[in-house]
């Protein structure tokens, strides 16, 4: 019987939570204050929201055999644009629209380079990774833009029906994306492009359009994550906003069971992967371990995942695995 693709990510998350229960007293403690739910678990979910958005977009990019290392830069651009517009006494809707518009333009740029000019995805997005953060720093004059408008803080720090608004946003976008990919042929088309782009093109699929769309969607998710981060910390820091977020997003996608070779992807798995990363980060900080250890742990996990996905290692593992019925 085939193993469910979400079994391992869920098991990993469960083990992490179990460790937290043992090592951190009161980890499961939840309380209601002023009609809002508070507790360590809620904090993890709230802090994981931007990464979950980034992982959602990254999943589709990786599914098409691509990669997007400009996610963090797009986060910085969106956060900076939003803070500038809000501080300029512009309506909140205009600030959000401007930030998301800037993010989508970044996605168009990546899509044109990858799908149109056929540049290697890592090279194409590396251009924006460097130039995008530089642009955000130019827009902010290298300063942290502090925001003082209360309505701007709702997205990243507000509550709705007792839960953080950020969770409702992530849930709505995730469910809409999953429904779109499952109820239409779009999900199969993206998977086909990742498995064999040449055969997909010969079969009549508009592979360039599909690839272009995934980069635009990923940038849009990053832009929304940037708004969420800026709203939560009540400022926009072009130097640090979204720093290394793209690496966490890639790790979340692979933890969720996706293949870096393209084709196979699991959106729900990517969301669970993001929760695993945030839970791991929270655990390390709560135990008083130096933050540098967090990076080492992530590096080890990435290394192991890449090794396990190696085409050379898979046959070896199958040969070493015990055969059914062997005595």
Burial of 263 by CB count in 10 Å (0-12 exposed, 13-18 middle, 19+ buried)? middle
Residue position matching structure tokens 């070779």: 261
The predicted model gives 275-293 an average pLDDT of 83
Return the pLDDT at 309: 58
pLDDT in tens, 265-281: 889 999 999 999 999 88
Binned at pLDDT 50, 70 and 90, residue 125 comes out as very high
**Which range has highest mean pLDDT (17-31, 44-58, 269-283)?**
44-58
The predicted model gives 93-110 an average pLDDT of: 96
| Sign of the Cα pseudo-torsion (136, 139, 144, 145, in order) | negative
pLDDT at 325: 47
Average confidence (pLDDT) over 138-145:
91
Return the pLDDT at 85.
95
Q: Pinpoint the alpha helices (H) of 40-119.
A: 40-63, 71-87, 92-111
Range scoring the smallest mean pLDDT among 34-43, 85-94, 117-126, 266-275: 34-43
Q: HSE (CB half, 13 Å, CA atoms) of 249? A: 32
Q: Which of 138-152, 163-177, 280-294 has the lowest mean pLDDT?
A: 280-294
Report the topology of domain 36-311: ABC transporter involved in vitamin B12 uptake, BtuC (1.10.3470)
Residue 323 has pLDDT above 70, yes or no: no
pLDDT at 322 over 70: no
């Amino acid at each position: 019987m085939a193993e469910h693709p979400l079994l391992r990510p869920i098991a990993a998350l469960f083990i992490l939570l179990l460790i937290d229960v043992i090592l951190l007293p009161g980890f499961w403690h939840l309380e209601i204050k002023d009609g809002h739910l508070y507790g360590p678990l809620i904090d993890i979910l709230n802090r994981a929201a931007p990464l979950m958005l980034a992982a959602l977009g990254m999943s589709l990019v990786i599914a098409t055999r691509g990669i997007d290392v400009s996610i963090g830069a797009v986060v910085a651009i969106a956060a900076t644009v939003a803070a500038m517009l809000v501080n300029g006494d512009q309506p909140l809707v205009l600030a959000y629209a401007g930030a998301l518009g800037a993010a989508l333009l970044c996605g168009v740029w990546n899509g044109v380079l990858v799908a149109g000019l056929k540049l290697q995805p890592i090279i194409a997005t590396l251009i924006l990774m460097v130039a995008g953060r530089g642009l955000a720093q130019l827009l902010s004059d290298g300063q942290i833009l502090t925001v003082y408008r209360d309505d701007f803080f709702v997205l990243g720090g507000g509550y709705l029906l007792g839960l953080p608004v950020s969770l409702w946003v992530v849930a709505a976008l995730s469910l809409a994306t999953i429904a779109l990919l499952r109820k239409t042929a779009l999900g199969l088309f993206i998977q086909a492009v990742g498995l064999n782009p040449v055969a997909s093109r010969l079969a009549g699929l508009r592979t360039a359009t599909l690839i272009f769309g995934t980069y635009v969607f990923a940038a849009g998710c990053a832009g929304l994550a940037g708004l969420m981060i800026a709203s939560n910390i009540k400022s926009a820091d072009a130097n640090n906003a979204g720093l290394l977020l793209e690496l966490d997003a890639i790790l979340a996608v692979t933890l969720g069971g996706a293949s870096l070779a393209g084709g196979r992807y699991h959106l729900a798995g990517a969301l669970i992967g993001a929760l695993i990363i945030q839970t791991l980060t929270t655990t390390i900080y709560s135990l008083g371990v130096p933050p540098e250890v967090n990076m080492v742990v992530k590096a080890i996990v990435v290394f192991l995942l890449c090794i396990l996905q190696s085409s050379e290692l898979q046959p070896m593992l199958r040969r070493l695995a015990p055969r059914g019925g062997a005595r």
